[in-house]
């Protein structure tokens, strides 16, 4: 907290306009996509046994999938549904594999390789563009803040309520704190794996959709730092890498 305050004070003193509302809104916007993925990854980290390094590839796939479906003339709502379905299916597949005992890092690394290969095959390595088909809400601004910021706040509130006030959320925390106790209590590893991977996949899908809707372009190289940034954000936010505390 002291370090954050020092940065804020230093920025205000040395940089004109640093403390302005416009700059604060810009900072929130730039952090919102990473924030959505980080929050969606939090249940995975808190479970103590799972992690994904497929964030960047999955985010790029979500953006490419959204743009690709829109460009086929199927409309934005269908594109959103297809993107959510595709990413959820990928998340379920990874959850099933990991719950069987395979290393989550190796599993998600393999998923990353497959995802990138599929995207390269479908796009030929070029970027897709929405052009005139870009949705009007892509750059929607309400009270000085753009849509991704509100999406980030909504996702954060939803995950907090889920983890604190639902049976499944508390089971994830127990699994992270003591997996042996969780198993004795009748909490299956597969259930936890599937839930945390699906939550993560939905968050990545939303981030990719918002990115594509706002910028109107996406490709294999979209969101290259998303994996590292989101994991760092989860850990800096106070969530224990061993799980059970956060």
**Is it the case that residue 23 has pLDDT exceeding 80?**
no
Per-residue pLDDT at 1 = 46
pLDDT category at 122 given cuts 50, 70, 90 is confident
Percent of the chain with pLDDT over 70: 88
Q: Which of 39-53, 161-175, 232-246 has the lowest mean pLDDT?
A: 232-246
pLDDT band at 115 (very low <50, low <70, confident <90, very high): very high
pLDDT tens per residue, range 204-240: 999 999 999 998 889 998 888 899 999 888 888 887 7
What is the pLDDT, as a whole number, of residue 11?
63
Percent of the chain's residues with pLDDT above 90: 47
Average pLDDT over residues 176-181: 82
Amino acid 20: pLDDT:
62
pLDDT at 47 over 70: yes
Q: How much is the pLDDT for 54?
A: 87
> 22: pLDDT confidence band, cut at 50, 70 and 90?
low
pLDDT, position 244: 62
**How would DSSP label each residue in the chain?**
-HHHHHHHHHHHHHSTTTTSHHHHHHHHHHHHHHHHHHHHHHHHHHTSS---S-HHHHHHHHHHHHHHHHHTTS-HHHHHHHHHHHHHHHHHHHHHHHHTT--HHHHHHHHHHHHHHHHHHHHTTPPEE-GGG--GGGG-EETTEEHHHHHHHHHHHHHHHHHHHSHHHHHHHHHHH-HHHHHHTT--HHHHHHHHHHHHHHHHHHHHHHHHHHH-EE-TTSSTTHHHHHHHHHHHTT--TTSS--
The pLDDT value recorded for residue 189 is 86
């Amino acid at each position: 907290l002291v370090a954050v305050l020092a940065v804020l004070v230093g920025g205000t003193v040395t940089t004109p306009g640093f403390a302005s509302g416009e700059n604060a809104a810009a900072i929130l916007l730039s952090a919102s996509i990473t924030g959505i993925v980080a929050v969606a990854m939090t249940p995975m980290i808190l479970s103590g046994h799972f992690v994904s390094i497929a964030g960047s590839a999955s985010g790029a796939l979500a953006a490419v999938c959204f743009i690709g479906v829109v460009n086929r003339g199927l409309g934005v709502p269908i594109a959103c549904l297809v993107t959510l379905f595709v990413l959820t299916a990928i998340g379920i597949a990874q959850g099933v594999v990991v719950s069987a005992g395979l290393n989550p890092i190796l599993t998600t690394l393999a998923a990353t390789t497959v995802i990138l290969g599929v995207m390269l095959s479908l796009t030929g390595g070029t970027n897709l563009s929405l052009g005139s088909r870009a949705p009007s809400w892509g750059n929607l601004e309400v009270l000085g803040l753009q849509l991704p910021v509100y999406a980030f706040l909504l996702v954060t509130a939803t995950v907090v309520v889920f983890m604190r006030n639902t049976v499944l959320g508390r089971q994830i925390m127990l699994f992270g704190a003591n997996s042996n106790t969780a198993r004795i209590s009748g909490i299956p590893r597969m259930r936890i794996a599937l839930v945390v991977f699906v939550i993560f996949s939905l968050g990545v899908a939303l981030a990719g959709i918002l990115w594509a809707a706002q910028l109107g372009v996406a490709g294999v190289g979209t969101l290259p730092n998303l994996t590292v940034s989101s994991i760092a954000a989860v850990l800096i936010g106070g969530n224990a890498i061993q799980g059970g505390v956060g």
